Amino acid sequence: MNYNKIKEKQELLIKNKDKFSKILLENYTNGFDINFAHDSTAIEGNTLTLMETKLLLEDEISVGSKNLREIYEVVNHNKAWNYVKTLIKSNQDLNEEIVKELHKILMENILPGGIYRNSDVIITGAKSKPPSVMILPFELNNFFERLNNNEFNPLDLAAYTHGEFVRIHPFIDGNGRLSRILMNFQLLKNEFLPISIKNEDKLEYYDALDYYALNNDLKYFKKIIYKLEEKELDFYLNALDLK
């Protein structure tokens, strides 16, 4: 992991971003948004294909043979992600109010959102266990305080935001989808590119998160974040023939 190398690529892209045509940037952005909605919901078991996700979000064509929950999961994810982009434009910092609002959007027409769990939970397949509901307020308070008082570089902050939020698991449902949106909130906030974790990489991804929850060590999850961020930057730089 080499943060300085990735930072140099980010600065090069920022310096040359005006060389992209507006149409090309919109195409890249829309393509990412569709992939992000598909990847993030697929990790949680949603069965919509990438093409079905595109038809639903971009072409606004109804997808048959899918249950309503799966459709709402994809549509709501896109709404929440668009909301994040409006917050970034208005220079908002991540806080508890925003987290609850994003959860409400994600859970629209599925279950009441923005309400912390009132019982203990178990994450299927994980060795770690989320903190008891008795200490949930304490854990959340520490989490939001550290978001505003830390020495992380931007990529590590994105990794911490995601990893710690999933470790705490404050909501009954939607924690994974929300954590990936929060991770990308931090990346966008610091002028890095958003990233999307593929369903086929789920095992490595879950293992890295579980390792963090058990050992308070982000090293494996940070490797995933750094690799994906560099890949996104290279994609844009290659398009400008700058790599």
Give me the pLDDT at residue 20, please: 86
Tokens representing 139 are 């854990």
Summarised one tens digit per residue, pLDDT across range 29-83 is: 999 999 999 999 999 999 999 999 999 998 877 777 778 999 999 999 999 999 9
* Vertex 119 angle, CA 42 and 102, to 5°: 45
What percent of the chain lies above the pLDDT cut of 90? 84
The distance in angstroms from the start CA to the end CA of the chain is: 18
% of the chain with per-residue pLDDT over 70: 99
- Looking at residue 24, its pLDDT comes to 86
Q: What is the mean pLDDT of residues 149-175?
A: 96
Q: Is residue 185 scored above 90 in pLDDT?
A: yes
Q: Where are the domains of the chain?
A: 3-239
- 3-state SS class at 132: coil
- Separate counts of helices (H) and strands (E) for the chain: 10, 0
Least-confidence region, from 117-121, 131-135, 167-171:
117-121
Average pLDDT over residues 138-164: 96
What's the topology of domain 3-239?
Answer: Fic-like fold (1.10.3290)
Residue with tokens 């982000």: 218
pLDDT value of residue 218: 97
Tell me how far CA of residue 193 lies from CA of 105, 152, 189, 235, in angstroms. Answer: 23, 17, 10, 11
Nearest to 168 by CA among 235, 116, 233: 116
Residue 121 in tokens: 């939970």
